[in-house]
Amino acid sequence: MGKGGSLSDNVIKSIILSYTYVSIWIFLSFTVIVYNKYILDKKLYNWPFPISLTMIHMSFCASLAFLLIKVFKVVEPVSMSKDLYISSVVPIGALYSLSLWLSNSAYIYLSVSFIQMLKALMPVAVYSIGVLFKKESFKTDTMINMVSISFGVAIAAYGEAKFDTWGVLLQLGAVAFEATRLVLIQILLTSKGITLNPITSLYYVAPCCLVFLLVPWIFVEYPILKQTSSFEFNFVVFGTNSFCAFALNLAVFLLVGKTSALTMNVGGVVKDWLLIAFSWSVIKDTVTPINLFGYGLAFMGVAYYNHAKLQALKAKEAEKKVAQADVEAHRLQEENQGEGNDK
């Protein structure tokens, strides 16, 4: 088949690898969400201590990251000054701890399916906070799209059979903190040329999260856990749960590094529909037609947002290629003029 056949094989291989990365990420994300729900739900494993669960995850991830960097030297640590750590990593760690705490707490009050519907507000939060911090430019059509996503989620909330106000507030808070964290990563780290892979990220951020979580844990959960003498720590349950959380961080890095953040967003939509179907068919959560109609509207808004992002990236890439071509043409022209002058 010659070169054409070789090119075709490479394209097919690239497509298969992309689908493999997406599948691994969806599987691990799906597993962590369902596993956390199983542990925290009072009707299932019945261990409703979200701060403690988050601290177990962070302790496991920080320890494993330390071993991989300092002992086995699998990954090189990123050089970071004390001032940079305090000014950049500490606020990101604080927001991450709040996001994880509130999102895990929501599983106690809300169904898996409804939580996924509320998570559709993430693009709205990221865009709004990006505009607030001047990382995104305000565009009327984008804001209209954000309003349509919010409207769809509002309809889904209206149709929720087991609506819990406190649970909704917890999940919305988690979305707000996570969106702020993502914007601050761009402002505080990316803009300074610092990129952290999942292992170095956990190495720096996880201990910070532990410190921030320790304060509410001492006052909120520790007194209750102290009185619960019947509980025995199950190393299999919490060990495998923590390992899944660590593996998910690696999968995110693999997916974004080998494909793009946009691919992860599209894969996230597939994951959400799978979780809604799982929640309805296996966990037996109630999913109403109004739920699905509202989430369908939000889904179309998110899909349009992803499409607009993709077009913007393509346009930016095209502009970059044109600029490079102009620079190359200018360089060749100068070389030709130089040769003419030498003659």
* pLDDT (tens digit per residue) in 185-204: 888 887 788 888 888 988 99
Q: Which two tokens stand for residue 165?
A: 């106000």
The angle subtended at Cα 311 by Cα 268 and Cα 178, nearest 5°, is 40
Low-confidence residues of the chain: pLDDT under 50 = 1-6
Q: What is the pLDDT at residue 2?
A: 47
Q: What is the pLDDT at residue 77?
A: 81
Cβ-proximal residues to 104 (8 Å cutoff; 6+ apart), any chain: 36, 40, 50, 53, 54
The alpha carbon of 257 is separated from its chain's Cα centroid by a whole number of angstroms, namely 14
Q: Count of alpha carbons within 13 Å of 210, Cβ hemisphere only?
A: 15
For the entire predicted model, the pTM comes to: 0.87
* pLDDT (tens digit per residue) in 189-245: 877 888 888 889 889 999 999 999 999 999 999 999 988 766 778 999 999 999 999
Task: For residue 159, give the DSSP letter.
Answer: T
In angstroms, the CA 185 to CA 333 distance is 42
Residue 266 burial by Cβ neighbours in a 10 Å radius (0-12, 13-18, 19+): middle
Q: What is the pLDDT at residue 341?
A: 60
